[in-house]
């Protein structure tokens, strides 16, 4: 969607620019006008950081500001920065990292000094890492509204009603309606659905839930994932450092995983709090052995978290049979189908919530999440409204995507120049993938 102030993607004109972006070259980075909001602060967010510094900053220089979507996110950002200081031998008094309720569109601000460590790290980079790896971001819509409420009007007009939404819809009603829509598509009860500012925030929430259920135990990642999932599980400021990574996701990794679990389960210990996997994986579209992982999750009592962003609930189902404990998804991608809003969902399986030993803790976790926000979710209602409008043709678009993808796969298979095709419905992966296809896809 060109020239939309709430765009969540960016196009680079040449392949050399894509390479330069990945390499962090200044000649590419310096001319980017926008980017994916977890990686690049929008103009509205930059203006909001500046406005919060001017209104609430202590005046001590140099001081920087991070903006967060809830009081809970702000508290956890504070703790993250303090743990970062301790790990990097930065001498920062606890009172020099403070949070403030901006009393504007639900935004909270965390103020911190910009102190570098001997290794070249800094609190500025750490705060950006919290934003990126937890996904607990302030959207451009939320930042624009916060600026308006702080008396600093952001200088743009929204490009359309679905680009921004309307003030009337900025209420819990939009959150509830989007939950109902997700529940309808996924075929679950509304109470099992929880919403977040992006897919990464849903993943991070599932990790926090698992740590609450099994404190002190590390996580594992099975199969090569979208990279930030692995970074999240490995960040020492967010949990145990000994994340177990089974990057191939093959039979040998399954054997190694089981051996690890056996070795580390003595004395009543939980060898893992959670295991993350993707179905299929991003970007190689590999299919993990979900039934084997379910067997191990039952035996060793860890939370099995499946990211289905690539396949979506319309095509695959891990919830009806309770194969996954938690399914996390990015609503920014296929569900929205337009590049003007971000969101994420976390869906609990019925069997997971009914476990007698976990039910109370799970309920308390989500009650605390809801109480820390103005609307019962860190997803901003105007973003929920935009996602809801965008998703109305999701089923139709999904059918077209499935059809054209299969046509492309069949065409590629006939080309002599193509050596390998990565697609879950082909070759040795086909049976494992077909096990979880929804009824209308079988």
Average of per-residue pLDDT across 326-335: 97
Judge whether residue 329 has pLDDT over 70.
yes
> Ramachandran region of residue 55, left (φ > 0), alpha (ψ -120 to 50) or beta?
alpha
The more confident residue out of 63 and 255 is: 255
**pLDDT 10s digits, 112-130:** 987 765 555 688 899 999 9
Asked whether the beta carbons of 194 and 205 are under 8 A apart, the reply is: yes
Location of structure tokens 């959670």: 274
Q: 197 vs 136, 182, 309, 430, CA distance in Å?
A: 6, 15, 15, 33
**Beta-strand relationship, 274-278 and 244-246:** unpaired
The 10s digit of each residue's pLDDT in 371-403 is: 888 888 999 999 999 999 999 999 999 999 999
Residue 101 structure tokens: 């309720």
pLDDT-based confidence at 418, cuts 50/70/90?
very high
DSSP letter at 14 equals S
What is the C-alpha to C-alpha distance for residues 304 and 277, in angstroms, rounded to an integer? Answer: 8
Contacts 24+ apart (CB under 8 A), 243-247: 243/218, 243/219, 244/218, 244/219, 244/220, 244/272, 245/220, 245/221, 246/220, 246/221, 246/222, 247/221, 247/223
Please name the residues in contact with 248: beta carbons below 8 A apart, sequence gap of 6 or more: 223, 224
- Give yes or no for residue 60 having a pLDDT over 70: no
361-368 average pLDDT score: 93
The whole-number average pLDDT for the span 319-326 is: 94
Are residues 385 and 144 in contact, defined by beta-carbon separation less than 8 angstroms? Answer: no
Neighbours of 418 (CB within 10 A): 10
**Residue 71 pLDDT level (bands cut at 50, 70, 90):** very high
Task: Provide CATH code, domain 170-390.
Answer: 3.40.640.10
pLDDT value at residue 158: 44
231-241: buried (b, 16+ CB within 10 Å) or exposed (e) per residue? bbbbbebbbbe
End-to-end CA distance of the chain: 34
Of 33-37, 254-258, 307-311, 317-321, the least confident: 33-37
Q: What is the model's pLDDT at position 120?
A: 56
pLDDT over threshold 80, residue 167: no
Of the pLDDT bands very low, low, confident and very high (cuts 50, 70, 90), residue 3 is low
| 195 phi, psi to nearest 5 deg | -110, 150
pLDDT at 413 over 90: yes
Distance CA 193, CA 376 (A): 12
Which runs of E-coded beta strand occur in 74-174? Answer: 98-104, 107-113
CA distance linking residue 275 with residue 307, whole number of Å: 11
Q: What is the pLDDT of residue 119?
A: 53
DSSP element (H, E) containing 305: strand 303-307
Q: What average pLDDT does range 241-255 have in this prediction?
A: 94
What pLDDT is stored for residue 35 in this prediction? 83
The predicted pLDDT at position 268 comes to: 75
Is it the case that residue 294 has pLDDT exceeding 70? yes
C-alpha span between 50 and 141 (Å, rounded): 16
Element (H, E) at 196: strand 193-196
Sign of CA dihedral 319, 331, 245, 209: negative
Contact between residue 234 and residue 243 where contact means Cβ atoms under 8 Å apart: yes
Q: Is residue 323's pLDDT more than 70? A: yes
Share of the chain above pLDDT 90, in %: 69
Sign of the alpha-carbon dihedral angle for 139, 141, 142, 144: positive
Q: What is the mean pLDDT of the chain?
A: 89
- Whole-prediction pTM: 0.92
104: phi then psi, degrees, rounded to nearest 5: -145, 110
Q: Residue 346 is inside which H or E element, if any?
A: strand 344-348
Q: Is the pLDDT of residue 423 over 90?
A: yes
Poorest-confidence range of 387-396, 404-413, 420-429? 420-429
Percentage of the chain beyond pLDDT 70 is 91
Let me know: does 140 contact 5? Beta carbons within 8 Å. Answer: yes
Measured CA to CA, the distance from residue 189 to residue 234 in angstroms comes to 33
Give the count of beta carbons closer than 10 Å to the beta carbon of residue 437.
Answer: 14
With 50 as the cut, is the pLDDT of residue 159 above it?
no
Residue 137 to residue 33: CA distance in whole angstroms: 19
Query: Could you tell me where the beta strands, DSSP code E, fall in 19-106?
Result: 63-68, 98-104
Whole-angstrom Cα distance, residue 74 to residue 81? 11
Distance CA 41, CA 10 (A): 13
Least confident of 59-63, 195-199, 338-342, 362-366: 59-63
Question: What length is written for the chain?
Answer: 442
Q: What is the mean pLDDT of residues 108-114?
A: 91
Instruction: Check whether 31 has a pLDDT greater than 50.
Output: yes
Residue 89's pLDDT is: 77
Q: What CA–CA distance (Å, rounded) separates 322 from 192?
A: 13
- How much is the pLDDT for 160? 44
């Amino acid at each position: 969607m060109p020239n939309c102030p709430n765009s969540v993607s960016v196009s680079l004109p040449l392949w050399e620019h894509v390479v330069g972006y990945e390499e962090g070259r200044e000649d590419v980075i310096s001319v980017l006008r926008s980017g994916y909001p977890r990686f690049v602060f929008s103009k509205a967010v930059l203006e909001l950081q500046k406005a919060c510094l001017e209104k609430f900053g202590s005046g001590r220089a140099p001081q920087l500001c991070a903006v967060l979507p809830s009081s809970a996110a702000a508290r956890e950002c504070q703790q993250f920065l303090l743990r970062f200081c301790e790990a990097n031998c930065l001498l920062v008094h606890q009172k020099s990292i403070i949070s403030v309720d901006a009393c504007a569109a639900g935004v909270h601000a965390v103020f911190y000094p910009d102190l570098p460590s001997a290794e070249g790290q800094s609190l500025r980079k750490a705060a950006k890492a919290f934003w990126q790896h937890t996904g607990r971001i302030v959207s451009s819509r939320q930042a624009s509204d916060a600026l308006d409420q702080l008396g600093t009007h952001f200088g743009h007009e929204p490009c359309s009603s679905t680009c921004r939404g309307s003030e009337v819809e900025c209420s819990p009603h939009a959150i509830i309606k989007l939950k109902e829509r997700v529940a309808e598509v996924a075929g679950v009860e509304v109470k099992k659905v929880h919403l977040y500012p992006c897919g990464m925030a849903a993943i991070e929430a599932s990790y926090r839930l698992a740590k609450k259920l099994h404190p002190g135990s590390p996580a594992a990642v099975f199969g090569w994932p979208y990279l930030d999932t692995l970074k999240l599980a490995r960040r020492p400021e967010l949990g145990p450092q000994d994340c177990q990574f089974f990057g191939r996701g093959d039979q040998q990794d399954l054997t190694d995983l089981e051996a690890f679990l056996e070795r580390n389960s003595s004395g009543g210990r939980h060898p893992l709090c959670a295991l993350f996997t993707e179905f299929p994986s991003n970007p190689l579209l590999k299919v993990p052995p979900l039934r084997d992982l379910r067997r191990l999750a039952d035996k060793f009592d860890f939370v099995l978290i499946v990211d289905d962003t690539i396949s979506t609930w319309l095509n695959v189902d891990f919830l009806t049979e309770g194969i996954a404990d938690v399914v996390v998804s990015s609503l920014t991608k296929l569900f929205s189908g337009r590049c003007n809003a971000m969101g994420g969902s976390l869906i609990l399986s019925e069997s997971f919530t009914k476990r007698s030993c976990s039910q109370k803790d799970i309920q308390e976790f989500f009650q605390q999440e809801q109480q820390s926000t103005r609307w019962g979710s860190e997803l901003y209602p105007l973003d929920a409204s935009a996602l809801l409008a965008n998703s109305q043709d999701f089923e139709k678009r999904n059918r077209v995507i499935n059809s054209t993808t299969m046509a492309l796969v069949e065409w590629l298979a006939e080309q002599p120049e193509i050596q390998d095709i990565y697609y879950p419905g082909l070759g040795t992966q086909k049976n494992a993938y077909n096990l979880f296809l929804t009824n209308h896809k079988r």
